[in-house]
């Protein structure tokens, strides 16, 4: 379940990275009070994109480890049940 939160965070960061990237294309006259330096917007977009990719990687690994943990628990329960069935016979 924790991986879902990381996927949501990655999606939000990717959205804001795209928004920051689009800000480099907007002329400075349409950005009153905002930084008009295009390289600053590109840097912010790059940092957010790297953050989104990092969060997505953490989410994938978290999901994989949760799946392994679930499967190993199922195998332990099945092995315990088989031992009990053999012992009862």
Structure confidence at residue 82 as a pLDDT band (50, 70, 90)? confident
DSSP 24: T
Instruction: Return the number of other C-beta atoms located less than 10 Å from residue 60's C-beta.
Output: 14
What is the pLDDT averaged over residues 51-73? 92
Give the torsion sign (CA, 62, 64, 67, 71).
Answer: negative
Question: Measured between alpha carbons, how far is 50 from 43 in angstroms, rounded to an integer?
Answer: 11
pLDDT digits (tens, 9 = 90+) for 9-50: 999 999 999 999 998 888 777 767 776 677 888 999 999 999
């Amino acid at each position: 379940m924790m991986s879902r939160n990381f996927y949501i965070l990655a999606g939000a960061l990717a959205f804001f990275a795209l928004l920051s990237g689009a800000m480099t294309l907007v002329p400075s006259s349409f950005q009153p009070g905002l930084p008009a330096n295009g390289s600053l917007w590109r840097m912010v977009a790059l940092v957010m994109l790297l953050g989104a990719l990092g969060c997505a990687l953490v989410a994938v690994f978290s999901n994989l480890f949760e799946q392994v943990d679930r499967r190993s628990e199922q195998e332990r329960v099945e092995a315990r049940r088989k031992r009990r069935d053999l012992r009862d016979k």
